[in-house]
Structure 1
Amino acid sequence: MPAWTQEKPWSRYGCGATGEAGAPTGGSTGAIGRGGRHADDMSDSPLLGQTVVVIGGCAPAVREIARRAKQAGAQLVITDRRAGPLEDLADEIGVEATDCFDEEDADALEAFLGSLPGHVDHVVLGGGEPGCIVRYARREMRDGGSLVLVTTTLPAVVGQLAAEVAPVRVNVITDGPAQAVASTAVALMIDPSRTGVVVSPGTPCAGSGVS
């Protein structure tokens, strides 16, 4: 089972900074606990104490979002379908847990979401079926949390999605330079007034602005 559902869960849920590897579940190849940043490095961090789950985390722009979220103090869970790049990224930035599965496999994605401990604050989706994430958000995410969808296929329905999952917020970032996408994603996570927006990095936020 994933590291966070074992007797010693990952750090946000009451253990030390490092979890333990587990056996596969729900079509995944298992999760690996990781060490996080020391608390002394996180003063003035806007995502301090918040949990961010990054799905499809090894795509270039999404990988940069993971880095920025960790720098902002987040407790981070990342997934990808490729074990090698996922391991490399986790070792580079230091995360609480990883899980390796194909995010395009709806059953595996549902199983992963169902295995997460307690509530999370933000989910970044860099691939896979958004319907799974929307259902999860309605059931489990913290009020005022956010879904950040990195895609070019959903801008027309972002307002509808935001209305469906409120008070969880939903925003879409279209393709752009990785650094700009990452800074935009973190800005959207920490701004409680932004929901139902479609952002093209390098331009002002625009969209339905559903509140």
Structure 2
Amino acid sequence: MSEEKTKKPSKKKYYDNVSVGKRTKQVAYLVEDGDKASMFEYFIKNSDKKQSIVVARSKRRADELKEYLKTKDISAASIHGNHRVEQHEEAAKSFNSGELNILITTDMILQTLELNNIQTILNYDLPPQHEDYFNRLILVDGVGESICFVSPEEEGLLSILELRLKNEMPQEELEGFTPEVSDEVAHVVKDKKKKPRHRSQVVKKVKKKKAE
């Protein structure tokens, strides 16, 4: 029998949300919003993963996180809609070459960047639209991991993602991390002035989707 005939047919690879979710490592860390920056600092300092894309919910959050990391001697760049296209391209080039290890951005800009060699997508904030999470997830499809920092206000969003994934995301504790709200992060103070997302409202939407 010829070698050609004995070869097993290659398994077809599917790119729907459920398939990508099943073959990509995902972990959720539950954390207060005010502790996210210090948790991220601890995660980076104790991780062997070098090339990380961090996604924040706003331009301000991205800039604040970059400035916080700077005070901790961690080099990172933030890139978002306030920057020129040339700056976007330069940031992507630096990341792809390994010159830049941590790139902080938003969902809108992430979709426009040509990135490779991503080891970790760190979801600093969960997106209100589940489609944006899967756009993030596809970047590390089968080769990297997705880390989610989930505040109490975002637990309802996590539930919606799990419904879409048809799988419960493993929740772990970051060993050795001690929560400590820091005044060094501007968004911790500013966001307290905003009306928080009520988990009950989000859960109601989840239950409605289940009923449908």
TM-score in terms of structure 2 length:
0.38
Bigger share in strand: 1
Normalising by structure 1, what TM-score? 0.39
Who wins on radius of gyration, i.e. which is larger?
2
Bigger fraction of residues in helix:
2
Bigger RCO of structures 1 and 2 (CA < 8 A, at least 6 apart) = 2
